[in-house]
């Protein structure tokens, strides 16, 4: 056989082989993302020094083309207590993987926890990061030992007190029934998982102190998540709730800090007294109130994706020496609402999905005294009536940000003694919003209001110098 014929015989089967292989078209659209069978892999009731059982989840390609995974990485690297295996191969980082259309791959995970030996939360967390088409998606890996009170779907039907010591972790929800109350002692830490919430139909008493505040926040403890909003749901005070108190608390990184509402048909008005409290980095509102009674003092609400304070439909509200300051980073989302919103209507949907607008709500009172209402927008105040009615409010001795062309606000006789469009010069954004030494809010408060609250958020005496300062924090050491 000639060399030519021999090569011809080799070429034919090779050509047939390659002609039978389907062309691998890869989807590269940034909107083409991976899907997962879970968003968090939990290892609960884990004993220290003993390895966990092996858990697994699937990574799916829901598209009609191949998808390329550039990298799969165990974020904690070699120091992580977790170990991962991707489709039968163990390691810390995997590159240049692919999944066929409508196919999937398995990822296996296990962990070994070190001893803790204290009442501090024994909580170990890491994540597996997937990079594809310019997207970064992750699966959280969370393990607890026995040093945490884990709460999943708990209903409190009798009055209960949470003492300090082991933290409390709410996986999905905690419900306080109508005849029950929940009292939270000083120094308690409450962690909430993604979308988790506290629902109160009875009474909530948060009894923090200056030295030992009560802390609420997400269960992502990595430094990256320290200021990331929307990590959990909200504290909801329903229309049947009553005698609610939040004192010396810190509420961080949720969706709504406190939601308190009653439907117009209920004839009810849930109440809340909130003092010496910080609410910060909520992806929606800091406090959302609808037909409620809220008294706020020495209160800081900062950096929200919506309003710091949204008062809707009606109610009875009083805020003295409070700071509402919204410098929401545009990298999260575009904020549309002002720091303070006051309106006598709200919209909702009925059971058929139709929009229903309730109008002509009645504000028995809405007063703001010796406070700061400011933010990054040129207009941080909205007062609106659906039918053009005059609402019952008073804004007195406040530093505000009102657009210079909004003449009706500047001429409003119910807005008096204001400092307008002067930067309050906070020196600790985004946590406490204390005043810089050059702040125009210094010594600008009305002493008669300050006498009611001689001590500020940090326990400093407002009456020790020439005059009290506006907002929740008195400047010390000029």
Here the CATH number for the domain that contains residue 41 is 2.60.40.10
Instruction: Look at residue 79 and give its three-state secondary structure.
Output: helix
Which band of pLDDT confidence, cut at 50, 70 and 90, is reported for residue 52?
Answer: low
- Band (pLDDT 50/70/90 cuts) for residue 220 is confident
Distances (CA, A) of 390 to 312, 413, 417: 15, 12, 20
Task: Calculate what percentage of the chain has a pLDDT beyond 70.
Answer: 88
Summarize the confidence of residues 66-78 as an average pLDDT. 93
- Write out the two tokens for 133: 């088409």
| CA 356-362-365 angle, 5° bins | 140
Query: What tokens appear for 64 in the block?
Result: 């009609």
Helix H or strand E encompassing 7: helix 3-19
pLDDT, tens digit (0-9, with 9 covering 90-100), for 305-341: 999 999 999 999 999 999 999 999 877 888 999 999 9
Q: What is the pLDDT of residue 120?
A: 59
Confidence band (pLDDT; 50, 70, 90) for 47? very low
Residue 259 CA to residue 150 CA, distance in Å, equals 23
Length of the chain: 478
Examine the domain organization and report whether 119 and 253 are in the same domain.
no
Please state, in angstroms and rounded to a whole number, the distance separating the CA atoms of residues 251 and 281: 9
- The answer to the question of residue 22 being in a domain is no
Rounded mean pLDDT of 343-347? 93
Residue-level pLDDT at 350: 83
Element (H, E) at 15: helix 3-19
Is residue 398 within 8 A of residue 470, CB to CB? The reply is: yes
Examine the pLDDT at 22 and tell me if it is beyond 70: no
Q: Which two tokens stand for residue 239?
A: 């229309």
Whether residue 429 has a cis bond before it, omega within 30° of 0: no
Is residue 415 a part of any domain in this protein? yes
Determine the 3-state secondary structure of 12 from DSSP: helix
In terms of domains, do 314 and 438 share one?
A: yes
Count CB atoms within 10 A of the CB of residue 110: 17
Position 8 scores a pLDDT of 44
pLDDT computed for residue 46 by the predictor: 53
State the average pLDDT over residues 105-112: 90
Structural domain total, the chain: 2
Using alpha carbons only, how large is the chain's radius of gyration in Å?
Answer: 28
First to last CA, the chain: 102
Residue 467 resides in a domain = no
pLDDT level of residue 247 (50, 70, 90 thresholds) = very high
CA atoms within 13 A on the CB side of 271: 6
Helix (H, G, I), strand (E, B) or coil at 44: coil
In this model, does residue 217 exceed pLDDT 90?
yes
Give the per-residue pLDDT at 17. Answer: 42
Residue 16's pLDDT is what? 42
One domain for residues 105 and 200? no
Decide which of 97, 113, 144 is a domain's last residue.
144
* pLDDT of 3: 44
Is residue 123 domain-shared with residue 222, that is, in the same domain?
Answer: no
Pick from 162, 256, 160, 156: which is nearest to 214 by CA?
162
Domain membership flag for residue 413: yes
Chain CA centroid to CA 362, Å:
30
3-state secondary structure at position 18: helix
Last residue of a domain, one of 110, 144, 178: 144
Instruction: Confirm whether 4 is domain-assigned.
Output: no
What is residue 306's three-state secondary structure?
Answer: coil
Residues 124 and 157 in one domain: no
* Residue 308: inside a domain: yes
381 and 446 share one domain: yes
* Lowest pLDDT segment from 4-18, 33-47, 116-130, 366-380: 4-18
Residues 62 and 177 in one domain: no
Does residue 448 surpass a pLDDT of 70? yes
pLDDT of residue 44: 65
> What would the mean pLDDT of 287-313 be, rounded to a whole number?
97
Are residues 267 and 410 both part of a single domain?
Answer: yes
Q: Which of 108, 93, 7 is nearest to 51 (CA)?
A: 108
pLDDT averaged over the chain?
A: 89
**Does residue 19 lie within any of the structural domains?**
no
CA angle in degrees (0–180, nearest 5) for 181-185-189: 105
Structural domain boundaries enclosing 123: 35-144
Say yes or no: 219 and 115 in one domain: no
pLDDT in tens, 348-401: 888 888 998 999 899 999 999 999 999 999 999 999 999 999 999 999 999 999
Q: Which of 328, 341, 331 is nearest to 429 (CA)?
A: 328
Distances (CA, A) of 430 to 107, 325, 326: 38, 9, 9
387 and 303 within one domain: yes
**pLDDT at 407 (0 to 100):** 66
Q: What is the dihedral of CA 378, 383, 384, 390, to 10 degrees?
A: -140
**pLDDT on residue 406:** 75
Select from 144, 159, 174 the last residue of a domain.
Answer: 144
CB count in 10 Å sphere of residue 77: 10
Residues 84 and 212 grouped into a single domain: no
Q: Is residue 216 part of a domain?
A: yes
**pLDDT value of position 429:** 61
DSSP annotation of 35 reads: E
The torsion angles phi and psi of 78, rounded to 5 degrees, stand at -70, -20
Q: Is the pLDDT assigned to residue 1 strictly greater than 80? A: no
Say whether pLDDT at 196 is over 70: yes
Task: Examine the domain organization and report whether 136 and 154 are in the same domain.
Answer: no
What band does 230 get if pLDDT is binned at 50, 70 and 90? very high
Residue 22, class by beta-carbon neighbours within 10 Å (0-12 exposed, 13-18 middle, 19+ buried)? exposed
Q: What share of the chain has pLDDT > 90, as a percent?
A: 69
Pick from 25-34, 240-249, 448-457: least confident: 25-34
Residue with the larger pLDDT of the pair 471 and 20: 471
């Amino acid at each position: 056989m000639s060399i030519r014929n021999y090569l011809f015989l080799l070429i034919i089967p090779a050509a047939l082989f390659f002609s039978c292989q389907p062309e691998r078209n890869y989807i590269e659209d940034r909107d083409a993302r991976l899907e997962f069978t879970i968003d968090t892999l939990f290892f609960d009731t884990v004993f220290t020094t003993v390895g966990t059982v092996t858990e697994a989840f699937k990574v799916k390609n829901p598209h009609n083309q191949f998808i390329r995974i550039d990298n799969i990485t165990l974020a904690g690297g070699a120091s992580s207590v977790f170990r991962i295996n991707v489709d039968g191969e163990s390691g810390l980082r995997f590159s240049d993987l692919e999944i066929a259309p409508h196919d999937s791959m398995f990822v296996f995970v296990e962990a070994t926890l070190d001893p803790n030996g204290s009442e501090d939360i024994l909580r170990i967390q890491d994540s597996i990061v997937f990079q594809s088409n310019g997207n970064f998606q992750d699966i959280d890996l969370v393990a607890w030992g026995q040093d945490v009170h884990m709460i999943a779907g708990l209903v409190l039907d009798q009055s209960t007190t949470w003492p300090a010591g082991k933290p409390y972790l709410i996986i999905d929800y905690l419900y306080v029934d109508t005849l029950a109350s929940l009292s939270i002692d000083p120094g308690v830490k409450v962690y909430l998982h993604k979308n988790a919430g506290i629902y109160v139909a009875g009474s909530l008493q948060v009894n923090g102190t200056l030295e030992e505040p009560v802390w609420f926040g997400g269960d992502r403890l990595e430094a990256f998540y320290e200021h990331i909003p929307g990590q959990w749901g909200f504290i909801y005070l329903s229309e049947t709730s009553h005698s609610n108190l939040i004192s010396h608390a810190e509420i961080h990184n949720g969706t709504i800090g406190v939601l308190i509402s009653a439907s117009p048909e209920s004839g009810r008005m849930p109440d809340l007294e909130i003092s010496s409290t910080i609410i910060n980095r909520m992806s929606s509102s800091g406090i959302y109130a609808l037909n409620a009674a809220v008294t706020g003092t020495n209160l800081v609400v900062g950096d929200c994706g919506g309003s710091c304070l949204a008062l809707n439909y009606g109610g009875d509200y009083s805020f003295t020496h409070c700071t509402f300051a919204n410098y929401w980073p545009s990298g999260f989302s575009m904020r549309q609402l002002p720091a303070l919103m006051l309106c006598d209507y709200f919209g909702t949907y009925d059971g058929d999905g139709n929009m229903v607008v309730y109008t002509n709500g009645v504000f028995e009172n809405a007063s703001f005294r010796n406070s700061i209402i400011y933010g990054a927008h040129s207009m941080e105040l909205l007062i609106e009536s659906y039918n053009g009615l005059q609402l019952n409010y008073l804004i007195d001795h406040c530093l505000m940000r009102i657009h210079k062309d909004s003449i009706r606000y500047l001429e409003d006789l119910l807005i008096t003694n204001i400092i307008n469009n002067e930067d309050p010069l906070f020196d600790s954004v985004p946590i406490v919003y204390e005043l810089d030494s050059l702040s125009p809010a210094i010594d600008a408060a009305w002493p008669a209001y300050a006498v009611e609250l001689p001590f500020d958020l940090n326990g400093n005496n407002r009456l020790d110098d020439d005059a009290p300062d506006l907002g929740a924090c008195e400047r010390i050491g000029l």
